[in-house]
Amino acid sequence: MSTDPRGPNAWDRLWAPHRKEYLVDEAGKFDGATCPFCKAQKASDVDGLVVVRRSAAFVVMNKYPYNSGHLLVCTTRHVSMYDELSSEEQAQVSELTSQAMRTLRSVSNAAGFNIGINQGNVAGAGVPDHIHQHIVPRWAGDVNFMPIVGGTKVLPELIEQTRILLSESWSD
C-alpha cells in the first residue's frame, strides 16, 4: 500500500515527449552524431541553447532542469571521465563554473548552488560518454507545493529566455 498522499500512481501520468530524442538506446550510449552536447556545439547558440563557448569547454542550458537556470558545463571533446580531461579542459570547466555562479547570482539572485558531475551509467549520468558538470541555482524557499502535491516543477520562465538573459549578462 502506498503512503504517498497523492495515491499509488502519482508519477505515472507525467508525459514528456520532448525527452524522446535522448532515448537513443536503452544503455544511453551516444556517439559524436547522437550526443546532445556534440549536437549543441554544431548548432547555433540559440538552437543549441548554448550560453557561452570557449576553446575546450562551453556552457549550455539543461533541457530538463531541476531548477530555473540549471546549467551544464561541458567539454567540447566527447570524453567520459574527469581524469581523462586535459589540463586545459579542467581549467576551462573550473573557470566556466565560477563564471556561471557569478552570472546566476547577478541575474537571478541565486543564494546557493548544487554542483556535481555524474560519471558513468551507474552514477546516474544521463549522457555518460560526454562529461558535463551540473550547476543548479538554489534560493531560499525554492521548494513549493507543486513538487509535493503535483509531482512536478514549475519554472518561472522559458529555457530560451533564461539562455538569452544569462548569455547577455555573462562577463569574463
Q: Write out the catalytic residue numbers.
A: 132
Are 109 and 103 in contact by the 8 Å Cβ rule? The answer is no
Exposed e or buried b for every residue in 47-59, given b needs 16+ CB within 10 A? Answer: ebbbbbbbebbbb
Q: How far apart are CA 129 and CA 33, in angstroms?
A: 12
Q: How far apart are CA 37 and CA 131, in angstroms?
A: 9
Packed helices 159-169 and 87-108: angle between N→C axes, nearest 10 degrees: 100
